Structure 1
Amino acid sequence: MRQRSVGDLMTPAAVSVRPGTTFKEIARVLDEYDITAVPVIDDEDRPVGVVSEADLLRKQTSGGVGNSARDLMTSPAVVAEPGWHAVRAARTMERHRVKRLPVVDGDGRLIGVISRSDLVQLFLRRDQAIQEEILEDIIVRTLDLPPSALTVEVAEGRVTLSGRVERKSLVPVTVRLCESVDGVVEVVSRLGFDRDDTGDHATVHGDPPVPSESQRAGG
């Protein structure tokens, strides 16, 4: 099971500007490439900040001093790495309230940009592809079960699992594995189990509890 990473989803060879790039040139770049923000890189291609449409508008409305990327940018730049899972990138965007992240290599040099629209691709994945990955990679390869052991239904990214597994502890594990599949929005578990191995009960699922001595004695 392979989850798509930032490196898979990013736009490579990202558009960028230098600290000395002027206000008007930045505005032209944003318009020409139809983007809302652009990384500012130094002479070694390392991001030192980001200039967004909001930064340009703020300068215009405030009338502040500064007419170059160096003066306008938000710094330091919040960056991502190509090996990150897409969920980590999404959480970083949310935490810092940004829509795009420069992606850097091991030396900190800009190699691409990942945006919210790139991440949305995960949730446009076909239901059939999601179902096939769950059946083949999770049920067969990971859980070592026959593909007919569980029923997997997928509708608009919503996965419903039905059937029975051998042990109760496998239920949350199976759900978590399915939740990690790209394109899955929600997992609904209707899984039963044959044996409770969690220590809560020493009974087979569905059997009535064994009465205690006091209960049998009427106490």
Structure 2
Amino acid sequence: MEHRTIGELMTRQVVSVELDTPFKDIAQILADNAVSAVPVLDSLGRPAGIVSEADLLRKAADQPDLSGRTPLPHLEAWERARAEGRTAGELMSAPAVCAHPEWTVVEAARLMEAQNVKRLPVVDETDVLLGIVSRSDLLRVFLRQDKAIQEEISREIIGRTARLGAAGVAADVVQGKVALHGSVDDPLLTPVLVRMCAGVDGVVSVSEDLKPAIVAGSAEGSAARS
């Protein structure tokens, strides 16, 4: 099976800032480009961190509220240091959590979930920035047409496992939901087929109604005994 890679999904024209970019310039760059965060690059073009609207908003939240309607938020020492930051290098979340262009959607999604981040700078083997991938970029695989999913399952999964006993299996795909039906020579093949189908780009869920195949010789023998 051919999975779409992060290199195919990422945005290549990346808006970025440098470590010494001032606070107000960062705010202007975010507004001008309609983005909520940008990578912060070192002198070699490598992501040192990410600075986001949330990082900038921390400074606003730390300002005194003369009306007295809202309490001053409690900030840890490191949060207060960043709230007092004046440049991207002082404000950013670091280190940058990065992906590589050959990664699959699954790999990138798992890293985002584990690190609780919304985007990943994509770097080459020397850690130089190539692009950026966001949650919405990863979700684009679910825009894949049902016909393309069905054709890949028929060709790459059912076709290649036919000699193992999946020749009697067919797949229907509606709204990314795969329904396997037919028969298999070996019931142990059923969970394998389900797992493989679940790994196809664009698949939302997999259900199966696969029954053991009836061997001709066994059917004749049963008929004779009856």
| Common topology (TM > 0.5) | yes
Give me the TM-score of the superposition, normalised by structure 1. 0.83
Structure 1: where are the runs of 5+ without partners?
196-203, 205-219
SS, match of residue 178 in structure 2: strand
Q: Which letter does structure 1 place at the counterpart of 2:130?
A: I
Flag the 1:56–1:143 CA change in 2: closer, same or farther, 3 A: farther
Report what 1:28 is aligned to: 28
Matched, 1:46 2:68: no
Report what 2:62 is aligned to: 62
Report what 1:118 is aligned to: 137
Report what 1:10 is aligned to: 10
Report the identity percentage. Answer: 49
Flag the 1:172–1:148 CA change in 2: closer, same or farther, 3 A: closer
Q: CA deviation at 1:146?
A: 10
Q: For residues 1-219 of structure 1, what are the structure 2 equivalents within 5 Å?
A: 1-63=1-63, 64-144=83-163, 149-194=168-213
Residue by residue, what CA displacement relative to the aligned partner does 1:7-46 show, whole Å, maximum 9, x if unpaired? 1111113221100111111112212222111100101111
Residue by residue, what CA displacement relative to the aligned partner does 1:67-114 show, whole Å, maximum 9, x if unpaired? 110111001111111111111211211222211110111111110000
Report what 2:222 is aligned to: none
Q: Count residues in correspondence.
A: 196
Measure the CA separation in 2 of the matches of 1:155 and 1:144. Answer: 27
Q: Which letter does structure 2 place at the counterpart of 1:61?
A: A
Calculate the aligned-residue CA RMSD, in Å.
2.0
Measure the CA separation in 2 of the matches of 1:138 and 1:97. Answer: 33
Structure 2: where are the runs of 5+ without partners?
64-82, 219-226
CA contact (8 A) 1:135 1:147 kept: no
Give me the TM-score of the superposition, normalised by structure 2. 0.81
